[in-house]
Structure 1
């Protein structure tokens, strides 16, 4: 914990997205790769029923693994409920976001407040019952939030959320951090090459005090992407302490 009057350390916040029984082998590989690069406890973004094809059931072997990870200090975030966008988008802006920024996975972009609240409440209950601990926060699939999602998070007192550019407290509106997240894409060759280029630049330029980095199960399917993740994490971990989101929040609390 940082003491008042001292400079907080430079931090690396790494997270594994789409944590689900559907992706268990890929998650294991990502855990292994991050650990080899110096990140022992990445945050896990858990999807209760990925694409409605991989339900996490209490008492299942995967549920037991979630509990062990949580007991080991891993922060568990709720990451949507199904991760699948099933909404009809009224505005052209949301239709563009849904089609260009993700491949049908922006689940919370078009939900109204009532449905968003129902899904967040159900997902939070499931994860907390399994792990025996409060969730660290809620992060929408593809980092896409509609008005209904914002309203639901505030109503439910969600303490932490993030998108591509910031980390904030939905319950109070306080912004903890403004900086882009480093992530990789494998959906198309153009997106993959672009994300590799961004990661390469991130390994050579001065970085902010807190760096966020997110990896996905699909990243393990492309050797060049996996190599880039390994090199990028290892390089940043030399100057930034692998940390948890609560460490960042604690730094700000001590500084205020």
Structure 2
């Protein structure tokens, strides 16, 4: 490979870092994770995945101190994604695969895995309206809790014209179907020793296996802030992957809208 080609290859590499489950109940953990990520990745702040009413017990309220902090994070450059409405899965899953995904891939938090198109659209739209009213900016997109989407959620994403969505293996445009990045997201699970051990092993393997990948995604969660092992693994992962791979924004993956205008959104009613 020529020197110019190598330079272009390196410049095209991206590290996308996100902090999940941003909600008042996890405020101290989110502060610590943003600081930790910043120490490894420099001045570009991570993307923030915001839950408007976490588990129906931790709402983000207009005029609150947390709402003001959310706006400051946005003003400082964090991309803000809608991350469900409550993050809690209350659906009765009929299909065998969905029952397995709900039971094995998350602990009752796959909110959008079993929702109908209508309910998914209502919750997505209400979350977007709340966050945009607080930040004064368009959200970057929608990412389902636990990265789990059912048919209703996929249909609702198209209805609401979100520019970006993400799951375990890709980042895509829901309206066009264009895939902007592929590859597994590196993340950690801390709710049991077994899951922690498996996620530590996976992170160790992936940060080496993906070192030449064009786009790498790293996602951290509030529970990680309470685990020394997870924090050490996060630090090591970001240290390895940030070599020759500058932190980037999700928006860098997708071309801007042609006219820069906001899409027209259907009226929504805040879910109960």
Instruction: Report TM bin, short chain.
Output: over 0.9
For residue 3 of structure 1, what is the aligned residue in structure 2? none
Query: Partner of 1:159: helix, strand, or coil?
Result: coil
Q: Is the 8 A contact 1:108 1:149 kept in 2?
A: yes
Pick the aligned partner of 1:222 from 215, 222, 227.
227
Q: Is the 8 A contact 1:9 1:241 kept in 2?
A: no
Residue 184 in structure 1 maps to residue 188 in structure 2: yes
For residue 47 of structure 1, what is the aligned residue in structure 2? 51
Could you list the per-position Cα deviations for residues 18-38 of structure 1 after superposition, in whole angstroms to 9, with x for gaps in the alignment? 000000000011011001112
For residue 92 of structure 2, what is the aligned residue in structure 1? 88
CA distance in 2, matches of 1:32, 1:250: 29
For residue 29 of structure 1, what is the aligned residue in structure 2? 32
Offset at residue 249 of structure 1 (A):
2.0
Where does 1:136-151 land on structure 2 (aligned, <5 Å)?
136-151=140-155
Q: Is the 8 A contact 1:107 1:141 kept in 2?
A: yes
Where does 1:110-189 land on structure 2 (aligned, <5 Å)?
110-189=114-193
CA distance in 1, matches of 2:212, 2:191: 27
CA distance in 2, matches of 1:54, 1:108: 18
Moved over 4 A (4+): none
Offset at residue 250 of structure 1 (A):
4.3
**What TM-score results when the alignment is normalised by the length of structure 1?**
0.93
Pick the aligned partner of 1:107 from 111, 114, 118.
111
**What TM-score results when the alignment is normalised by the length of structure 2?**
0.88
CA distance in 1, matches of 2:207, 2:110: 29
Q: Is the 8 A contact 2:182 2:215 kept in 1?
A: no
For residue 247 of structure 2, what is the aligned residue in structure 1? 242
CA distance in 2, matches of 1:102, 1:183: 13
Offset at residue 175 of structure 1 (A):
0.9
Could you list the per-position Cα deviations for residues 15-73 of structure 1 after superposition, in whole angstroms to 9, with x for gaps in the alignment? 00000000000001101100111243100000000001100001100000111111111
CA distance in 2, matches of 1:212, 1:200: 14
Question: How many residue pairs were aligned?
Answer: 247
Q: Is the 8 A contact 1:11 1:248 kept in 2?
A: no
CA distance in 2, matches of 1:35, 1:158: 27
Pick the aligned partner of 1:16 from 6, 16, 19.
19
Could you list the per-position Cα deviations for residues 142-163 of structure 1 after superposition, in whole angstroms to 9, with x for gaps in the alignment? 0000000000010010110000
For residue 41 of structure 2, what is the aligned residue in structure 1? 38
Could you list the per-position Cα deviations for residues 106-148 of structure 1 after superposition, in whole angstroms to 9, with x for gaps in the alignment? 0000000000000001000000000000000000000000000
- Give unpaired runs (5+ residues) of structure 1: 1-5
Could you list the per-position Cα deviations for residues 204-241 of structure 1 after superposition, in whole angstroms to 9, with x for gaps in the alignment? 34331110010000001110111110111122111211
CA distance in 1, matches of 2:140, 2:87: 18
- Give unpaired runs (5+ residues) of structure 2: 1-7, 259-272
CA distance in 2, matches of 1:132, 1:52: 24
Q: Is the 8 A contact 1:84 1:107 kept in 2?
A: yes
